[in-house]
Amino acid sequence: MLKVAELFSGVGAQAKALERLQRDYGLEFEVVATSDIEKDAILSYAAIHCGLTSELVSCYPDYPSREEMATYLSSLNIGYDFKEGKPYDWAKLARRKGNAIEKYWLATYLSRQVGDVSKAPCLPKADLWTYSFPCTDISVAGLQSGLSAESGTRSSLVWQVGRLLKISEEKGELPKYLLMENVKNLVGTRFIKDFSLWVSTLEELGYKTYWQVLNAKDFGVPQNRERVFAISILKSENQMYEFPKGFPLEIRLKDILEHNVDEKYYLKDEYTEKLLEQINGKDVSNAVRGGGRGSTDRHSWDLVRE
């Protein structure tokens, strides 16, 4: 049984990959811990992977008091607003009618959340850690503020993984394997020194790291999406790693797009006009940032690509 800690877990893309390996190859695994602060991503994770439903929220028999739930969620720093630099007010939510506080508490409980990676004292023993940390400050379409340990950026949270690894080393519980995925720019000219420093840190902890930039279009996905993947293996395991070889793409984007899309998923006219203005002004990075948080239609994304 492969025990897994999924850091920066989001909605559980890496857990989904493990579920497919379980389905297709019989891989037995258990996620023993997840870590994230985005409260609605935690809801999604629990719904996708842990059986969270509205019915379960309504009939779950073992809730603590609302005050205890609010205190617990606050202690994990879930819902923290990086832009505003302030925590989420769980006590206020606990005073509201309805079952919102129960929903978030149960999602956190079911997904075995440790919350904010910078506040977690340690992680349970696991064979594999996944740690695809935020790309916010290294992406070409992002803030470009970097990931150095002293920067205080979201991307610098990778060094909290290093802190937790050192604690695990002291306990004799280092995971055998580490898996990271991030934007290609992580190994570009601007940030390669920081990435190399990270790899050196892992080397000091006893890991051999293999990394490579892979493109989604070479692995069955009709999208030109390059990402760097890093696999780190404890040297004591005496294992080598080779990245998979790509294969010809057999489907196109139009083969998988829905033909009838609800109007609620389309950009509003004012956002579309702003997007076009930014693209015409050749400020494509700002256009992507401005439109990235909302929904968009195929036509808008075609304009961005062009």
One domain, residues 10 and 93? yes
Number of domains, the chain: 2
Decide if 33 is inside a domain.
yes
Task: Report if residue 41 sits inside a domain.
Answer: yes
Percent pLDDT > 90 in the chain is 75
**Strand pairing report for 207-215 and 226-234:** antiparallel
Residue 139, domain member (yes or no): yes
Residue 141 lies in a domain: yes
| Residues 186 and 125 reside in one and the same domain | yes
Confidence of residue 259 (pLDDT cuts 50, 70, 90): confident
Backbone angles phi, psi at 168, to 5 degrees: -65, -35
Same-domain pairing of 286 and 177: no
User: What is the C-alpha radius of gyration for the chain, rounded to an integer number of angstroms?
Assistant: 21
In angstroms, rounded to a whole number, what is the distance separating the alpha carbons of residues 148 and 158? 9
Same domain, residue pair 73 and 220: yes
Whole-model pTM?
0.83
Give the span between the Cα atoms of 97 and 95, in whole angstroms. 7
Same domain, 264 and 191: no
Residue 106 confidence class, pLDDT cut points 50, 70, 90? very high
Same domain? 149 vs 264? no
Q: Are residues 290 and 202 in the same domain?
A: no
- Domain assignment present for residue 244? The answer is no
**What is the per-residue DSSP string for 217-261?**
GGGT-SS--EEEEEEEEEGGG-----PPPP------HHHHS-SS-
Helix (H, G, I), strand (E, B) or coil at 295: coil
Alpha-helical runs (H) found in 76-157: 90-94, 100-110
Query: Which sequence positions are flagged as catalytic?
Result: 135
Q: Please give the Cα distance from 142 to 2 (Å, whole number).
A: 35
pLDDT of residue 264: 84
What are the backbone angles phi and psi of residue 99, rounded to the nearest 5°?
-120, 30
Instruction: Identify whether residues 231 and 264 lie together within a single domain.
Output: no
pLDDT at 217 over 60: yes
Distance separating alpha carbons of residues 232 and 241, to the nearest angstrom: 9
Per-residue pLDDT at 276: 85
For residue 294, what pLDDT is reported? 36
89: domain range? 2-237
pLDDT at 56 over 90: yes
pLDDT digits (tens, 9 = 90+) for 284-306: 444 443 333 333 344 333 323 33
Percent of the chain residues past pLDDT 70, beyond the cut = 92
Mean pLDDT of 55-60: 96
What distance in Å separates the CA atoms of residue 286 and residue 279, rounded to the nearest whole number? Answer: 9
Quote the pLDDT of residue 275.
82
pLDDT the model gives residue 181: 97
User: Quick one: DSSP state of residue 113?
Assistant: B
Q: At 156, which CATH number?
A: 3.40.50.150
| Together in a domain, 152 and 213 | yes
Q: Are residues 224 and 272 in the same domain?
A: no
Range name among 64-68, 105-109, 113-117, 236-240 with the lowest pLDDT average: 236-240
Instruction: Clarify whether residues 263 and 298 are in a common domain.
Output: yes
Q: Take residue 40 and report the two structure tokens written for it.
A: 């609605």
Q: Which pLDDT score, from 0 to 100, does residue 102 have?
A: 97
C-beta separation of 146 from 138 below 8 A:
yes
**Residue among 252, 255, 301 at smallest CA distance from 275:** 301
Rounded-to-integer distance, Cα 132 and Cα 41, Å? 15
